[in-house]
Chains A and B, each alone.
Chain A
Amino acid sequence: MKKTLAGAFAAALMLSAAQPALAVERGGTLVYGRYADSLFLDPVLNDANVDIWVLSNLYDTLLLPTDNGQGVQAGIATKWDVSADGMSVTLQLRKGAKFSNGRDITPEDVIWSLERAANPKNGIWNFLISSIDKVVPDGSDGVKIMLKHPDPAILHALTVFNTAVMPEKEFEAEPGNTDEAKAREFAKDPIGSGPFVLKSWVHGQSMTLVRNPYYWAKGSDGKALPYLNSVVFKVIPDDATRILQLQSGALDGAEFIPYARVQELKKASGINMELYPSTRVEYVTMNVRKDVAGKANPLSNPEVRQALNYATNKKAIIQIVTHGVGSPMSSFMSSATPLHAGKGELYPYDLAKAKALMAKAGYGKGFSTSLLVLAGNQDELSIATMLQQMWGQIGVKLQLQQVDNATRTDEYRKGDFSMRLSAWTDDIADPSEITSYFAYSPTIQSLHTGWKNDTVDKLFVQSQSQMDAAKRKEEYAKIQQIFNTTGPTVSLYQTPYPVALRKDVHGFVQIPLGNNIFRGAWVSKKTSN
Chain B
Amino acid sequence: MAVDEISTVRSERIWTYAMVAVAAVMLVAIVHAGIAQHFGTPSNSIETVDPNTLHLAGEFVSENLGTRVGLDGKITTRVVTTQFAFAPDCVVVPQHMQVTLRAASPDVLHGLMIMGTNVNTMVVPGYVSQVHTVFDKTGEMLMPCHEFCGLGHSQMVARVRVVPLEDFQPDEQGRVSCADR
* Same assembly: no
